[in-house]
Structures are given as structure tokens and as C-alpha cells.
Amino acid sequence: MSSTAGQVIKCKAAVAWEAGKPLVMEEVEVAPPKAGEVRLKILYTSLCHTDVYFWEAKGQTPLFPRIFGHEAGGIVESVGEGVTHLKPGDHALPVFTGECGECAHCKSEESNMCDLLRINTDRGVMIHDSQTRFSIKGQPIYHSVGTSTFSEYTVVHAGCVAKVNPAAPLDKICVLSCGICTGLGATVNVAKPKPGSSVAIFGLGAVGLAAAEGARISGASRIIGVDLVSSRFEEAKKFGVNEFVNPKDHDKPVQEVIAEMTNGGVDRAVECTGSIQAMISAFECVHDGWGVAVLVGVPNKDDAFKTHPVNFLNERTLKGTFYGNYKPRTDLPLVVEQYMNGELELDKFITHTVPFSEINKAFDYMLKGESIRCIIRMGE
């Protein structure tokens, strides 16, 4: 075991004290892991738009003070009682969802939505005892989505930690903890385009670009990017997108534009915006008889959309996905190997790097729309 096992560790963490206010670098105390938990030393973390969403606290229950962060790579420092698949020194990625291995979802080959460890955005404590593992001078600091990687050390349920190849660079593969796998898996695991097929990607942010990367890996010949911001089109070419449509440039619904471009519709569509209109367009732009549309974007809680039932009767399929249908512990190590063997390209997703002491710069880049992913180097 490590020399610090069983002890409280003092380290730096970027704490959000109020919604929308800059994070504050604080010295926090991180308790040892309890049964079924792991304490990780975080070496690199990345800023995902979901962190910004909950930091702004718009549309959900605010919970502060809190340590955000859920895309990261690190090394196991110590493990709690009963943890057998991890040991100190292992390289690992924490994930906002988990794999207990025991529930019906985990035992199913068709689902990754673990009953025990499925994401809970409102929970700010550990499942084991409903307590936090972070504190400042005795004051509890809340967790976020079970990971809280904006801290040099964090405690995570062992079922939410994937052991990975120690040769893989953590400053690159850390982006697989959330957005990249969500988009990539939506295409390769759910849409499953065949070589030579056509795919429309709605939304060219990080998740949409990852969906395009999945279409590229799958051998799609036409990858059509759909976005309201035309300046994103040039960057998207790096991810295999070879045609572009801005709905604002047309006086008819974009699904009609795409149907005309593709002689009746695309073979697959992946929606990565959370916009109800984009969801409708993605479904209605796929070809009858075999077209499949996959919804990835998270809508507002009161949203609903309608489409004519004949779209289903004409043999179009609508699917949803969660974290790209990847089981974290089982599948994430395999995705890392895809990167290691050159099949999956991750470097092009990383547009900025900042030291931990300047983490608020990462928020600025994201809010200005300047970054796909900003890597934050811990310990600096």
C-alpha cells in the first residue's frame, strides 16, 4: 500500500463557492477511501461543457461549495475494503457513471446504465455513507457526479474507475472520461454506419466532432456536419466531415435540404445539441427503409417533440444513448487501446493546456467558444 494509505491527505483543489463565480484554489482535506472506494491522485483533468453547465447552476438544483470536474486521468493512491480490480500505482480514468457488475443493466450486453452508479447530478456525497470525503477546516465540500477531479486527490466509487494501459499518456486519454466516448460510441456502438454510408452529425461541438470521428473510423463516405455556426466547419474537416450545412442558409427545414442532397436521406444521423428542433431534423432526415437516428444531446427537462407516426411506419428508427453505450470498466480500456494503435485520434480534440493554478482560463476558453478540450495540468 502507499505511504499515505489510511491517512487524510491535504492538497489543492479548485472550489466553486458560488454559482458562476471564479473557482478558488483552496487547501482541502481528502479523507481515505471507505469500503468499495478508491482514492486517486489526479495528474490531468479536462474541462467539459457539463462542468460549466452545473457551475452556472442554470436549470438544476444549485449545490455549493462544490468541487467540479469529471474528465481526468490519474494514479490509484489507495483502495478501500473489498476493492479487488484496482491497486495502488494503477493508471486509471474516473468516470461519471459506473459499472457495479451485479445489476441487471451491468449483466446485460445491451445496456450500460448501471442501477447503482448511474449519474446523479444532484448528489454531492458518497453512496456508501452519504458523507463527503472533502472538507476545509471541518466544513464539508460537496462532490460532483461522483468524481470531483478539480482536486489533486479525489475519492471515487471503485465501480466508476477504469484501469487503463500505463503506457497510455494520461494527458491525452483523460478526455475519454466523458464527451469523446459519448459521441464516438453514439456512432460506432449505436448508429453503426456501414462502410461507404452517409452520416449527418447535428452539432459540431466536442461531442459532435467525436461522433464524426466515429463515422470516419467506421468508413462512412459522406459525413455531413450540421451547425448554426459556420466558423466550426473548417475545424470539423480534421474529424472527417466532408460536407456542411448551416440551417440558417436555407429557407426550408434542414431535413428537407439533407434529403435532397442524399437522394432521399442519410443512412445514419447523430444529434449532439440537445435542441428539440435538431432532434426532429435528425430523425426526419434519415432514409426510409433503413435510416437510423441517434439522440445524444440532453434537452431541457420540460421539452418534448413531435413527429408524424408515419416516419416510424416507413421504417425509420430512433434511438437514444448514454455515454455512447460504453461500460466504463469493461470498455474504456479497449477504447484506450484504439488510441494506442492509431485507430482513434485524440490529439486533435485538445486545443488548449493550462496549469491547475490557472483553471479559470479553461472556463474562459469554453465560454468564448474557443476550445474543444482544455487540458489542466495538476500540481502546477
Q: Is 103 a catalytic residue?
A: yes
Which own/partner pairs from 2-8 qualify as long-range (CB within 8 Å, at least 24 positions apart)? 2/77, 2/78, 2/88, 2/89, 4/77, 4/78, 5/32, 5/77, 5/78, 5/88, 6/32, 6/78, 7/32, 8/32
Catalytic hit among 11, 160, 174, 178: 178
Q: Whole-angstrom distance between the N-terminal and C-terminal Cα of the chain?
A: 26
Q: Is 285 a catalytic residue?
A: no
Catalytic hit among 49, 85, 128, 377: 49
- Among 75, 77, 82, which Cα is nearest to 4's? 77
Catalytic hit among 56, 85, 103, 317: 103
Q: Is 234 a catalytic residue?
A: no
Catalytic hit among 11, 106, 160, 285: 106
Q: Is 70 a catalytic residue?
A: yes
Catalytic hit among 157, 232, 268, 373: 373
Q: Is 157 a catalytic residue?
A: no
Q: Is 374 a catalytic residue?
A: no
Catalytic hit among 39, 70, 216, 222: 70
Q: Is 100 a catalytic residue?
A: yes
Q: Is 118 a catalytic residue?
A: yes
Find the angle CA(221)-CA(223)-CA(227) to the nearest 5 degrees.
Answer: 170
Catalytic hit among 26, 71, 99, 213: 71
Catalytic hit among 85, 118, 123, 128: 118
Q: Is 132 a catalytic residue?
A: no
Q: Is 11 a catalytic residue?
A: no
| 309: amino acid identity, one letter | P
Catalytic hit among 114, 174, 272, 374: 114
Q: Is 39 a catalytic residue?
A: no
Q: Is 160 a catalytic residue?
A: no
Catalytic hit among 50, 154, 187, 321: 50
Catalytic hit among 11, 39, 45, 48: 48
Active site residues: 48-50, 70-71, 100, 103, 106, 114, 118, 178, 373
